[in-house]
Amino acid sequence: MAEVLSRLIFKEGLNKPYHDKRGIAWVNNGADKRKVFDNAELANISNKQNA
């Protein structure tokens, strides 16, 4: 019986915060990960990245 083994390596993305398949935004801060609840916070994060 043959086994299939795959290894995927993803580089750190440029599009932060990250969105899961349900569309929930997540922000990583060090070892912590949290949901972003406020649209103003998303806009603030976006503006900081584009500056």
Structural domain includes residue 6: no
Token reading at 46: 């976006």
The total number of residues shown for the chain amounts to: 51
Residue 30 within a domain: yes
Name which of 17, 12, 23 is nearest 47 in CA terms: 17
12 within some domain: no
Q: Which domain holds residue 42?
A: 18-50
Number of domains in the chain: 1
Task: Give the CA radius of gyration of the chain.
Answer: 15
- Position 10 in a domain: no
Amino acid sitting at position 4: V
At 2-36, the pLDDT tens digits run: 888 888 887 766 666 777 888 888 887 777 888 88
Q: Identity (one letter) of the amino acid at 21?
A: K
Residue 11 is assigned to a structural domain of this protein = no
pTM value is 0.46
